[in-house]
Amino acid sequence: MKKITISALFLVISISFSCRTKISEEPSEKDVERIHESAITIDTHIDIRDDFDAKGNDAGAETVDQIDLFKLEKGQLDIATLALFADPLRRTPENITLARKQVDSKLAVIEDFVNKHPDKLEFIKSSADIEKTVKEKKHGILLSFLNALSLGKDTSLIEHYYKQGVRLFGFAHAGNNDWTDSSRPSESFGDKPDEAGGLTLTGKLAVPILNRLGIIIDVSQLSSKALTQTLELSKAPVIASHSGLKSVVDNTRNLSDDELKAIADKGGVVHIVAFAAYLKDTVAFKEDYQKKIFEPLGLKAGKDNPKEKLDSAGYAKYKAAYLDFSRNEWRYATLSEYINSVDRAVKLIGIDHVGFSSDFNHGGGVKGYANVGEGLNITRELVKRGYSEEDIKKLWGGNFIRVFKEVEKHAVQKQLLVEAKK
């Protein structure tokens, strides 16, 4: 009998340990399905359209939306983060009122959606709720807030929406507002790049309020200066709920390597968005965007404000064209190209700081992941690329849950400190 050297024995032990954490080279479909089912799957940014119909979203019917109850069950998405998103508008008192109505209307329809299906849907208001809802075999609905335009300069409204269930908060979308500069200032609104120098005073005052309440700060779509300032001011980790990589597509909405590292160094997570325009720099997308939406109406994308330039009939045509185009933007990139960006982010900032998001119903999606019902395809692609089961679980939801818990922990500590000073 041959003697086993210490080095050989160490190699056997190492291989044995590795086999416990990694999937075989050629996993079966049963392996993929088991991993997907065992992971807590979270999408950190999904929009709902203004015409989202809670009555039509039942388990027996599939709608034109990229998310409905049928697709949630098919794709086994455990937690869907639905955004109370307000369309970007020029900053006027009238538009702030309109934006607030849009936000509250979306809140009402989401509440209606959840209330109509108490056996299958549950609102998520804490990290503990996530684990509880998954154990109960329900789908969780987590509320986020995007575009503080609708709040004017009133930071007290943060607590109002916290009481309504909001647990993620994003300051900006396209266009600067009274809280921050956007990574995409709107020329058609009269915006200038970095006109506030990052966060405004209102935005700076909002950060400690969000920390105190235990709301996760979302830095997606902030200008570079605003992002840096948010990281400096926040006492808790932050996330980017729907961002791409500037090293892949050089767009101001995407994050630079330094920004990715800064978020990770804070303990946060960057959720790579499955949005074709931010995964692949294609001429076809840019040309089609102009030709199919703006050109027929005599407008130029990024230069002209359709709401101000068109009459009511023309604006209705614009909205219809935009809706049709955005519902099909997933055709411009593939699932493989999406996971390429995920791979790149993991290599740059580590597996503990990367997650997924779709931006469904606002242009998001790719071939192979065109709606919530196709979530299994992501897991399958990760397994093919050699990701371990443990790492797949981190990417799908584990990293986000860790941040959520850390934000909650800071909020509790802050509250105890306040009470101790009384």
CB-side neighbour CA atoms (13 Å) of 210: 29
Interval 198-240: pLDDT, tens: 999 999 999 999 999 999 999 999 999 999 999 999 999 999 9
pLDDT band at 403 (very low <50, low <70, confident <90, very high): very high
Interval 44-55: pLDDT, tens: 999 998 888 765
Q: Which residue ranges make up each domain of the chain? A: 28-281+333-421, 283-327
Contact in structure between 55 and 65 (CB atoms under 8 Å): no
Q: Residue 314 in 3-state DSSP? A: helix
Interval 362-383: pLDDT, tens: 999 999 999 999 999 999 999 9
pLDDT band at 6 (very low <50, low <70, confident <90, very high): very low
The CATH number of 28-281+333-421 is which of 2.40.30.160, 2.50.20.10, 2.30.31.10, 3.20.20.140?
Answer: 3.20.20.140
Beta bridge partners of 143: 82, 166
Across residues 272-280, what is the average pLDDT?
97
Across residues 255-262, what is the average pLDDT?
98
pLDDT band at 19 (very low <50, low <70, confident <90, very high): very low
pLDDT of residue 332 exceeding 90? yes
pLDDT of residue 131 exceeding 60? yes
pLDDT of residue 21 exceeding 60? no
Across residues 31-49, what is the average pLDDT?
97
pLDDT at 265: 98
pLDDT at 416: 73
CB atoms within 10 A of CB 335: 20
Q: What CA dihedral angle connects 192, 197, 198 and 203, to 10 degrees?
A: -100
CB atoms within 10 A of CB 302: 13
Please give the residue that has the higher pLDDT: either 28 or 397: 397
Tokens of 243: 């961002």
pLDDT at 56: 53
Across residues 86-90, what is the average pLDDT?
93
pLDDT at 9: 43
The amino acid occupying position 278 is Y
pLDDT at 4: 44
pLDDT of residue 58 exceeding 70? no
